[in-house]
Amino acid sequence: MINRIKGLPKFIKEVKEELKKVNWSTRQELVSAGFLVVIVSIILTSYIFCVDIGLSKLVQLILK
């Protein structure tokens, strides 16, 4: 346990060095990706809603 605590400053230094190597997305890329996620979510939600309504109507017809 003591060895882990002693190694903490080295670990933090190495983490900072690795984070400098990360290719961070630009603001425009993030906005575009976020917009795409919202659009795809709306499309999938609409599709599932329509399928659900259709299946509900089909089950109602079968059970009547």
- Position 48 scores a pLDDT of 98
Q: What is the value of pTM for the model shown?
A: 0.63
Torsion of CA 21, 26, 31, 33, to 10 degrees: -50
What's the total number of domains in the chain? Answer: 1
Residue 45 belongs to domain spanning? 24-64
- Position 14 scores a pLDDT of 95
> For residue 29, is it within any domain?
yes
Angle at 29 between CA 36 and CA 25, to 5 degrees: 130
- Position 35 scores a pLDDT of 98
> For residue 8, is it within any domain?
no
Q: Is the dihedral of CA 34, 37, 43, 44 positive or negative?
A: negative
> In sequence order, what are the residues at sequence separation of 6 or more whose Cβ sits closer than 8 angstroms to the Cβ of residue 33?
25
- Position 5 scores a pLDDT of 82
> For residue 7, is it within any domain?
no
> For residue 18, is it within any domain?
no
> For residue 48, is it within any domain?
yes
Q: Given pLDDT bands bounded at 50, 70 and 90, which one contains residue 2?
A: confident
Kindly report the backbone phi and psi dihedral angles of residue 58, in degrees, each rounded to the nearest multiple of 5, phi listed first.
Answer: -65, -45
Q: Residue 38 carries which side chain, given as an amino acid letter?
A: V
pLDDT tens for 27-57 read: 999 999 999 999 999 999 999 999 999 999 9
